[in-house]
Structure 1
């Protein structure tokens, strides 16, 4: 019989939800990640944090780390994960994570246009 190494998902306790971070693409327990959802705004969508995991709609998951936020912005991952297109304002998420100003995130106007 062939012995296989157990994958990361098998190491997690059964019944614990595992999600993928849209920034770094690593799998982690849902309790370790921040859920974000898209809300309709005047000029597109606002990506807002959902720490209680109660807001309606499709969610995306992100490590509560400014580095993962920067990678998600650079990869334009929010639009694809949330299945929205157009202007995305992520200032609420950046403010919650309190990203340092020198990290590449412009906290005055975090937004980008999704090409989805």
Structure 2
């Protein structure tokens, strides 16, 4: 026996809002485009990404702690209105 398991390992990422680790598929990738933090649900936009749970609680925590500019390595604040609209729409608010 080699000790290897046959189960597929899914990649994990850390939510910048609540700082909990979760499967990459459970989190929403965000990227910075022209000073705006935009959602990237398919994960195909170019650039550095930050991951957040698609919940307003985690989004508010990330904004309050200024986690998006730090995670995306950009100077200054980012506009998160497009991201907030996407999360609200996903939650059905």
| Shared fold (TM-score, shorter chain, > 0.5) | yes
Q: Supply the RMSD in Å over aligned alpha carbons.
A: 1.3
Matched, 1:29 2:19: no
Question: Could you tell me which of 35, 45, 63 is aligned with 1:55?
Answer: 45
Structure of greater relative contact order (alpha carbons < 8 Å, 6+ residues apart): 2
Larger gyration radius, structure 1 or structure 2: 1
Shift in Å, 1:24: 0.1
Structure 1 moving runs of 4+ over 2 Å: none
Task: Point out the structure with the larger strand share.
Answer: 1
Question: Which secondary structure state, in structure 1, belongs to the residue aligned with residue 78 of structure 2?
Answer: strand
Query: Could you tell me the TM-score, scaled by structure 2's length?
Result: 0.85
Matched, 1:93 2:83: yes
Query: Could you tell me the TM-score, scaled by structure 1's length?
Result: 0.68
Q: Over residues 3-33 of structure 1, what are the superposed CA-to-partner deviations in whole Å (9 max), with x where a residue is unaligned?
A: xxxxxxxxxx543110000000000000000
Match of 2:9 in 1: 15
In the alignment, structure 2 segments of 5+ residues that lack a partner are 1-6
